[in-house]
Structure formats: C-alpha cells, structure tokens
Amino acid sequence: DSGVTQTPKHLITATGQRVTLRCSPRSGDLSVYWYQQSLDQGLQFLIQYYNGEERAKGNILERFSAQQFPDLHSELNLSSLELGDSALYFCASSVGTGYFNYGYTFGSGTRLTVV
C-alpha cells in the first residue's frame, strides 16, 4: 500500500456522461498530481495542486477539471465523456513542490471505460 488512495478502482460509463475520480494523498503530502495513462499515449500529465491551489497544468482537456479540498484530497471531474477518454487515471502525491519535489508516490489508479 503506497499510502495514496484512489476510488473507485473501476468505472464503466456511457459516452456523454460525467464522472468524478477521487484521490487521497499520502499523509503529510501537500501536492497532488493527476496523470492519464492510455495504451497509445503513455503517461500524460494532466494537472497539479499544491495545498489547495492549482500549480501546474499539462495536457488537460477543457472537459476535465480538478480541485483539491482543505483536507488535501483531490477530485478529477471528467465530463461529456468520449470513447477516447477510456484510460487509467493515476493520482500521485509528494511532500513538496518546485525544487522540493523529490519524486512522487502513486496510487493504484482508476480504470475508466467509456462505452
């Protein structure tokens, strides 16, 4: 157990729907990162939050949004889902950010299947 908790583990939903993925970071970690892993795209960085504030944005679609709450858990919202959004979505956490980022701890992921 890495200490980073992601729920749900699996999600099957229809095109056009909206889902919310949840992540609880490792105890003491203030930064949360979201990644998408699909077969043909590898690991794609989506977005980072640090202590409740958005810090960095990657290739995140406008249909996707995220937030980090005061208790530091984070949610990734995916809306108007398309077949191509089917992927593994990983959350990672780290103690610091910027030059205090010494590596991530990953959760076990949420497998999203859009049908």
Residue 16 Cβ, how far from another protein at the closest point, in Å? 27
Instruction: Give dist(CA 61, CA 24) in Å, integer.
Output: 22
Residue 21 Cβ, how far from another protein at the closest point, in Å? 13
Q: CB neighbours of 57 closer than 8 A, spacing ≥ 6?
A: 46, 47, 48
Strand partners, 113: 12
Residue 54 Cβ, how far from another protein at the closest point, in Å? 11
Residue 97 Cβ, how far from another protein at the closest point, in Å? 5
Structural contact between residues 103 and 94, judged by C-beta atoms closer than 8 angstroms:
yes
Q: Which residues bind another protein (CB under 8 A)?
A: 2, 4, 6, 31, 42-43, 45, 48, 50, 55-56, 58, 90, 92, 97-99, 101-109, 111
Nearer to another protein, 9 or 63 (CB): 9
Instruction: Give dist(CA 19, CA 66) in Å, integer.
Output: 12
Nearer to another protein, 79 or 106 (CB): 106
